[in-house]
Amino acid sequence: MERELAKSEPKLPTQLTQQSPINMSWNSLYTNVYAPYSETKSACVVESKTGKFYAGVLIENISYPLTIPAVQAACAICLSEGEIPGKLYVDAPDLEQLSFWTKEFDLEVIQTDSPPLDSLENLTHTLNSNIEIKAELKSLLKKAVTPNSDFPVSALLFTEEAYFEGVNVEVSEWTKGICAERVALCKAVASGHTDFDRFEIHAEKGEISSPCGACRQVISEHMPYHGINLHHSDGTLSEHLSIDLLPFSFKSSVLKK
């Protein structure tokens, strides 16, 4: 059933149309939420202007300001796929950053108990021996959304059997953008993956390709001793472990329980 959002929200929801297939509850997305600190269950689904659906789930970080809200994750994923957000299906009217993203893309917000999960795009790429990582990274750069920096970055996040693509996404408010590494992580976590193998990262500009400090902290939480392979603009490759890129990362063990 649909319920009206609070009047303070920028845009009121409308009734779902018959073109939006609805037959699943939020519970299947809640299982993918990464919220070990607050245990909050937060998820949403973005429908692009061309009718494609992308899910986003809350991804917390022990460095709390680096937490990625579900709405930010879903919209960034949509943009990274070359699509423009058009509608937003939510489970509650008070999702973090809802106001910003609704205003940014004039989203139609629909609060529902039955999100269109059976129509989600499959963002999981099956791993095969023929993949050319360098060529894949270079080709992926064209999807980067960088109107502010003009500094495209691409990333591939690998599991044992698949990989997820990521590019950096920028919007009008700089703090709401997400780096390529975290976009790939958003896709993987929303798809139910938690066991990762390595990152492959490339930037076509600058002397070296390297994750920013924020990404290093986020990576260290999900991949503390994993491979981070950096494909530099001059064609060289350097291989690292995440622990070496951030040897003194902030960990949950320092907080009182």
Instruction: Give the residue numbers annotated as catalytic, written as ranges.
Output: 181
Would you mind telling me the total number of residues written for the chain in this entry?
257
Report whether 200 contacts 229 (CB < 8 A): yes
Note whether 154 and 180 are within 8 A (CB).
yes
Q: Give Cα separations from 42 to 29, 190, 230 (angstroms).
A: 9, 11, 33
Q: Right CATH number for 125-248 from 3.40.140.10, 3.50.50.60, 2.70.70.10, 3.40.50.2300?
A: 3.40.140.10
Put the strands of the sheet holding 53-57 in their side by side order.
53-57, 43-48, 85-90, 108-111
Numbered ranges of CATH 3.40.140.10 in the chain: 27-119, 125-248
pLDDT at 252: 75
Pull the structure tokens for residue 83. Answer: 């699509």
Q: Residue 22's pLDDT is what?
A: 34
Provide the token pair at 103: 């205003």
DSSP string computed for 2-59:
B-PPPTTSSS---PPPTTS-----THHHHTT-B-TTT----EEEEEETTS-EEEEE-B
**How confident is the chain (257 residues) per 10-residue block, as mean pLDDT?**
38 36 72 95 97 98 96 98 98 94 97 94 91 95 97 97 97 97 98 96 93 96 96 96 91 66
231: which strand partners?
202, 237
pTM of the model: 0.88
- pLDDT of amino acid 207: 87
Q: Residue 95 and residue 78: Cα distance in Å, rounded?
A: 18
User: For position 256, what pLDDT does the model report?
Assistant: 55
Candidates 3.30.2230.10, 3.40.140.10, 3.40.50.150, 3.30.2420.10; CATH matching 27-119: 3.40.140.10
